Amino acid sequence: MPNALVSRRAEFPDALRIARAKSSPGLGPRMVFFSGGSALNDTSRSLKNYTHNSVHLITPFDNGGSSRRLRDAFNMPAVGDLRSRLMALADETELGQPEIYALFTHRLPERATEQELNREFDALRSGQHRLMKAVPQPMRGLILAQLRVFDDHKPKGFDFCRASVGNLILAGGYFANDRALEPVLFLMSKMVDVLGTVRAVADVNFHIGADLADGSRVLGQRQLTGKEEAPLRHPIKRLFLTDMKQEVPPSAVRLPKRNRKLIERADLICYSPGSLYSSVIAALLPELVGTTIAAQDVPKVYVPSLGTDPECLGLSLLDQVDALLSALRRDAGSEVPAVRLISHILCDANSVDADMARQIGRVHHIQVLRLTLRKKERPDFYDPVLLSDALISMT
C-alpha cells in the first residue's frame, strides 16, 4: 500500500494529475465512496469535472425525513439519499437532460392543503403538470409508468407534504421491479445522464440500531442523528442492522458481487464526510465489505466531518478512527493492520492539530494529511474544489 504516496511527490495537491483528470474526465480515476446523506453532494458535483468514474455506495437504512414517510407507507428501503446523490452527479451541461432533472428535484409544497397536494400529484400522474409536460417522449412515458405504479400502491391518505417527485418515482420503480432498487436506479441514472455510479451498498430493507455506552439500545437512524429527535446523551459503542424488532446478523446482509467488483477495480477508496455512524459506518455493515476493502492495494482515505457531529459525542479524531476500524475489522478480522483499512486521513489543518495527527500516526501508523480544505465563508463545510483536488492527487 502506498503509505509514502504524498511524500514522494514534489507537490501536493498534484497540479499535473489534476489537469490530466480535468482534460479527460471520461477516463478519470475510479474512486469508491462509502456514504449517505448530503454531506458529499457538493463535492460530488465538483468531481464531475475530474472523473466520470466515481462510485457511490449509499446506505439505504435511513428512516428520517421524507424517507421515513415512504418507509412507513411501503415497508421499503430508504431512497432519499440515493436520489440526492444521483442528482448531484447528473450531467447539468447543455448535453444533459435539464427537464428531467427539474422534475426529479421538484418537491411538493410544505404549506398546502391536502386537497392542493393531491391535485398536484394527480397532475403529475396524468402528465398534465408543467414539469411533466416539459419532459420529451419516450422518457415521459417511462416516468409516468413508475408514478402510476406508485399511485397503485400508495395507502389512502398518503401525505404528500414536501414529497420529492424523484423519491416517488423511485418508489414506484421499486414495486414495478419486484421490490428491487437496482433496476430503477439504473433507469434513473440513464434518464439524467449520471456521470458516475450510484448504488445502494446492499439492496435490503433494514434499519440501523445502536448500543450506547450506558447499556441502552436505540433503533432507527432518526434516533441517532440529533435532527428530528433529541441528541444522544451517551456515546455510541456499536452499530448494527435491525428489522426494528431485533438485531440482524451480518451474514443476513452481504455486499453484492456487483459492488465487490467496483471496490476491486478502485483506484481510491474514501470514507466520506457525513454523520460518522448513520452515514459512513452504516455503509460498512454488510458482510464482505471489510474483507474486500482490506484486499485492495490502493489509498483508503478517511475524510472526517467538519463542525459538530451529534453522533460523535465525546469522540476525538482518534476515537473516530477506532470506531471505523472496529466496524471494518468485524468483517476483515481483528488482526488486519489498520493501514490495510485506512491508509490516510485527509483533513483540514485548522480542524485537527499536529499533536492529534502525530498520535494517530503512533497508534495506527496512518498518515494524516493536514491541508487547507474548508470553505472560507462556511468553515463547517469542505470547499468542493479543494477537496476534489486533494482526492484526485492521491489516485
Claim to verify: residue 91 and residue 217 sit in the same structural domain: no
Q: Which amino acid makes up residue 73? A: A
Which residues, 6 or more positions from 386, have their beta carbon under 8 angstroms from its beta carbon? Answer: 371, 372, 373
pTM: 0.94
Are residues 25 and 110 located together in one domain of the fold? no
What are the b/e assignments for 216-249, b being 16+ CB within 10 Å? eebbbbbbbbbeeeeebeebbebbbbbeeeeebe
Cell of 141: 412515458
Nearest partner of 51 among 31, 17, 28, judged by Cα: 28
In a domain, 371, yes or no: yes
Decide if 248 contacts 242 (C-beta within 8 A). Answer: yes
- Within a domain: residue 5? no
197 vs 22, 88, 154, 182, CA distance in Å? 18, 11, 29, 11
Which of 148, 175, 194 is the last residue before a domain boundary?
A: 194
Task: Check whether residue 55 and residue 189 sit in a common domain.
Answer: no
Is the same domain home to 110 and 248? Answer: no
Write down the pLDDT at residue 4: 45
Residue 47 shares a structural domain with residue 76: no
Residue 189: predicted pLDDT: 96
Residue 48, in any domain of the structure = yes
Give, for all 395 residues of the chain, the pLDDT tens digit: 544 454 444 478 999 999 999 999 999 999 999 998 889 999 999 999 999 999 999 999 998 777 888 999 999 999 999 999 999 999 988 778 999 999 999 999 999 999 999 999 999 999 999 999 999 999 999 999 999 999 999 999 999 999 999 999 999 999 999 999 999 999 999 999 999 999 999 999 999 999 999 999 999 988 888 777 888 999 999 999 999 999 999 889 999 999 999 999 999 999 999 999 999 999 999 999 999 999 999 999 999 999 889 999 999 999 999 999 999 999 999 999 999 999 999 999 999 999 999 999 999 999 999 999 999 999 999 999 999 999 999 99
The CATH number given to whatever domain includes residue 298 is 3.40.50.10680
2 falls within a domain: no
Residue 385 and residue 29: Cα distance in Å, rounded?
A: 16
Q: What are residue 15's phi and psi, to 5 degrees?
A: -60, -40
Which of 159, 194, 229 terminates a domain? The answer is: 194
Q: Are residues 251 and 294 in the same domain?
A: yes
Domain for residue 65, yes or no? no
Residue 301, domain extent: 15-59+203-393
- Residue 92 has what pLDDT? 87
Identify the domain boundary among 138, 160, 194: 194
Assess whether 121 and 167 both reside in one domain. Answer: yes
Whether 231 and 379 map to the same domain: the answer is: yes
Domain identity same for 274 and 293: yes
Pair (259, 343) in one structural domain: yes
Are residues 239 and 314 part of one domain? yes
Number of domains in the chain: 2
Residue 8 covered by a domain? no
Task: Examine the domain organization and report whether 151 and 267 are in the same domain.
Answer: no
Asked whether residue 45 is assigned to any structural domain, the reply reads yes
Mapped to the 3 state alphabet, what secondary structure does the chain carry? CCCCCCCCCCCCCCHHHHHHHHHCHHHCCCEEEEECCCCCHHHHHHHCCCCCCCEEEECCCCCCHHHHHHHHHHCCCCCHHHHHHHHHHECCCCCCCHHHHHHHCCECCCCCCHHHHHHHHHHHHHCCCHHHHCCCCCHHHHHHHHHHHHHHHCCCCCCCCCCEHHHHHHHHHHHHCCCCCHHHHHHHHHHCCECCEEEECCCCCCEEEEEECCCCEEECHHHCCCCCCCCCCCCEEEEEEECCCCEECHHHCECCHHHHHHHHCCCEEEECCCCHHHHHHHHHCCECHHHHHHCCCCCEEECCCCCCCHHHCCCCHHHHHHHHHHHHHHHHCCCCCHHHCCCEEEEECCCCCHHHHHHHHHHHCCEEEEECCECCCCCCCECHHHHHHHHHHCC
What integer pLDDT is reported at residue 1 of this predicted model?
Answer: 52
In a domain, 9, yes or no: no
pLDDT at 3: 46
